[in-house]
C-alpha cells in the first residue's frame, strides 16, 4: 500500500505560516531589553538583535529577491545579515539598526511576502516560502537555546501565541486541541525491531524536503532492540553518582579530551543543592531533578559515555528511523513501506507529541501513548531531540539545494539528531527529518535513547 502524495500547501496555508512564524519570533524577544537583545559575546549564541534581522533578510532574499524581481528593501541588509559572509564573532560589532528599525524591517518583509503569495507570480514560490518559514522556525528554537544559555526567563508570550494557534489554526499541520489522555502505559524495556532492508530517507511524496533527506534508499539492517523511551534524569543521575565523569574508560578519546578541557563533572545546567540532591536550571529557575523526565542538555560525548556505563549503545540514524517509521504489519522482516510519523501518516496532535512550545518544557517519558510507534517506542517525535551514533553525511546521489549553506558545509563534522523537541514546530517534522550539531554542543534541547549491544 503506497502513501498518498501530500499536496503543496495552499496560498492560504502559506500565508498563515508566514504570519504565525513572524508573530512567534516577535513573541520570543518581546520581553527583552536592548542590552539583552545584544547579549554577551559567546560562541554558541548570536546577538538576538542580529538574528531577528537575519530571519527577515533570509526571507527577503529567497522569496522576494531570488527571482530578481524585487530590489533590496535595505541597501545595507546584505552587509549586516548574510550569515555566510558575516563572521560570527563580528556580529556584536556591527552598527545594526535599532530595535524599532529592525522590527519594522521584519514587518515590511512579512507584508511583501504575503502580497507575493496572493499574486502567485512564480512557480517555485511555494518552495521558497516554505524554506523561509522553516528557517524561521529553526531560529525560533535557537532563540530558546540562547535564553536558556543566558539564564533569561522563558518568554511568556510564546506560550500564549502557541495556545492561540492550537485553538484557531485549522491548516493541516496545526496541533489539535487536547483530548482526555489515556493513562500512561509503562514505556520501559526494549522494542524489538526486525532485520531486513529499510528505506532510509524521505520519500518523493513529500511536498517539501531538505537536501540532506534526499532520497529514500535501501539500507540493510540486522535485528536490534531499542529503548521504548528516552533516558531519564534519574537514570543519568545514577551515571553521574557512580563517578561516570571520572572514569576515562567510559569515554571515547575525543570525549575524554573534551571533558578534561571544559572540566565537566555533570550535565551543564546541574548543581548540588544543600543536602546533596541534584537540581537543574530551566531558563532562570533552579528545579529539583525531575526523575521521570528525559535528561536534557547533554552532548554526544556524554550520551556515548553513559551508554558504555550502562552496557548499551546509541542507535544509528537508520535504526532510529526504522524504529519510528516501520509499520506493525511488516511481518518478521522490514518492508518497503514506512510511516511518516511514528503513529501513522496523520499530522501531530497534542495527544501524539509534545511540540510547538505549549508545555514550556519536557513532559514525563511515559506520557502520550497515542504517539507510540507501531513497534512500541514512545515520544520519538517531540519532547527531546535524540542523539544518534551517526556522523552527518550525505545520502547516495546527494545534490545540493539552492540554499547551499544548509547541509553541505557541515558533513563529516556533525552528529545526527532525530525527532524534534518540545520547542520544535510541528510543521517542520517527520520521521525522516535530520538535525545535526557538533558532538560538543550542550545547549541544544537534546537527550538520547539507547540500544541493546
Residue 328 lies in a domain: yes
Is there a domain that residue 5 lies in? no
Tell me if 324 is assigned to some domain.
Answer: yes
In this structure, the answer to whether residues 127 and 235 fall within a common structural domain is no
At 333-385, the pLDDT tens digits run 576 578 999 999 999 999 999 999 999 999 999 999 999 999 999 999 999 99
Q: Are residues 371 and 426 in the same domain?
A: yes
CA distance 399 to 288: 47
Would you say residue 173 lies in a domain?
no
Residue 230, pLDDT score: 98
229 and 354 assigned to the same domain = yes
Indicate if 256 and 375 belong to the same structural domain: yes
- 4 in any annotated domain: no
**Nearest-angstrom CA–CA distance, 206 and 412:** 26
The DSSP code sequence of 349-384 is -TTT---TTTTSS---TT--GGG--TTS---SSSSS
- Asked if 132 and 249 sit in the same domain, the reply is no
417 and 299 both lie in a single domain: yes
Specify whether 73 is located in the same domain as 220: no
- 218 with 358, same domain: the answer is yes
Measured CA to CA, the distance from residue 54 to residue 313 in angstroms comes to 39
Does 230 reside within a domain?
A: yes
My answer on whether 73 and 193 are in the same domain is: no
CATH of the domain at 63: 1.20.120
The total number of structural domains in the chain stands at 2
pTM equals: 0.93
- 125 and 238: one domain? no
DSSP string, 244-300: TTT-GGGS-HHHHHHHHHHT-SS-TTEEEPTTS-EEEEETTEEEE--TTSBP-S--H
Mean pLDDT, the chain, integer? 92
pLDDT tens string 154-206: 998 766 666 665 544 434 444 444 444 444 555 689 999 998 999 999 999 99
Q: What's the confidence (pLDDT) of residue 161?
A: 65
CATH number at residue 345: 3.90.1580.10
Nearest residue to 190 (alpha-carbon basis) of 227, 223, 222, 231 = 227
Which CB contacts under 8 angstroms, 24+ apart, belong to 83-86?
83/54, 83/405, 84/405
Are 258 and 139 members of one domain? Answer: no
Give the range of the structural domain holding residue 139, as residue numbers without chain letter: 11-154
Amino acid at each position: 500500500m503506497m502513501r498518498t502524495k501530500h499536496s503543496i500547501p495552499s496560498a492560504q496555508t502559506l500565508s498563515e505560516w508566514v504570519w504565525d512564524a513572524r508573530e512567534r519570533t516577535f513573541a520570543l524577544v518581546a520581553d527583552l531589553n536592548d542590552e539583552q537583545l545584544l547579549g554577551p559575546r559567546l560562541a554558541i549564541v548570536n546577538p538576538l538583535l542580529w538574528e531577528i534581522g537575519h530571519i527577515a533578510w533570509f526571507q527577503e532574499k529567497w522569496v522576494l529577491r531570488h527571482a530578481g524581481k524585487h530590489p533590496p528593501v535595505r541597501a545595507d541588509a546584505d552587509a549586516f545579515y548574510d550569515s555566510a559572509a558575516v563572521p560570527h564573532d563580528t556580529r556584536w560589532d556591527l552598527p545594526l539598526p535599532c530595535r524599532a528599525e529592525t522590527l519594522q524591517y521584519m514587518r515590511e518583509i512579512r507584508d511583501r511576502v504575503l502580497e507575493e503569495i496572493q499574486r502567485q507570480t512564480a512557480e517555485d514560490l511555494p518552495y521558497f516560502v516554505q524554506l523561509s518559514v522553516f528557517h524561521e522556525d529553526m531560529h525560533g528554537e535557537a532563540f530558546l537555546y540562547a535564553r536558556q544559555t543566558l539564564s533569561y526567563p522563558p518568554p511568556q508570550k510564546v506560550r500564549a501565541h502557541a495556545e492561540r494557534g492550537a485553538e484557531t489554526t485549522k491548516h493541516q499541520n496545526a496541533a489539535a486541541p487536547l483530548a482526555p489522555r489515556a493513562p500512561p502505559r509503562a514505556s520501559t524495556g526494549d522494542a524489538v525491531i526486525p532485520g531486513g532492508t529499510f528505506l532510509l530517507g524521505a520519500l518523493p511524496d513529500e511536498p517539501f524536503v531538505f537536501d540532506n533527506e534526499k532520497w529514500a534508499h535501501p539500507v540493510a539492517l540486522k535485528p536490534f532492540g531499542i529503548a521504548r523511551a528516552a533516558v531519564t534524569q534519574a537514570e543519568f543521575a545514577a551515571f553521574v553518582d557512580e563517578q561516570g565523569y571520572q572514569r576515562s574508560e567510559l569515554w571515547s578519546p575525543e570525549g575524554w579530551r573534551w571533558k578534561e578541557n571544559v572540566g565537566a563533572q555533570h550535565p551543564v545546567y546541574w548543581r548540588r543543592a544543600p543536602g546533596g540532591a541534584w537540581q537543574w536550571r530551566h531558563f532562570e529557575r533552579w528545579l529539583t531533578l525531575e526523575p521521570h523526565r528525559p535528561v536534557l542538555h547533554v552532548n554526544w560525548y556524554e550520551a556515548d559515555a553513559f551508554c558504555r556505563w550502562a552496557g548499551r549503545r546509541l542507535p544509528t540514524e537508520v535504526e532510529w528511523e526504522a524504529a519510528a517509521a516501520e509499520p506493525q504489519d511488516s511481518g518478521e522482516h522490514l518492508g518497503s513501506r514506512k510511516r511518516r510519523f511514528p503513529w501513522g501518516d496523520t499530522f501531530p496532535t497534542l495527544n501524539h507529541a509534545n511540540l510547538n512550545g505549549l508545555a514550556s518544557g519536557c513532559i514525563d517519558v511515559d506520557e502520550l501513548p497515542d504517539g507510540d510507534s507501531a513497534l512500541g517506542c514512545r515520544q520519538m517525535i517531540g519532547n527531546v531531540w535524540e542523539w544518534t551514533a551517526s556522523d552527518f553525511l550525505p545520502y547516495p546521489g546527494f545534490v545540493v539545494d539552492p540554499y547551499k549553506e544548509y547541509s553541505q558545509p557541515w558533513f563529516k563534522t556533525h552528529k545526527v539528531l532525530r525527532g524534534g523537541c518540545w520547542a520544535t514546530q510541528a510543521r517542520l517534522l517527520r520521521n525522516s527529518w535530520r538535525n545535526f550539531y557538533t558532538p560538543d554542543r550542550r545547549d541544544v534541547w537534546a537527550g538520547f535513547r539507547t540500544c541493546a549491544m
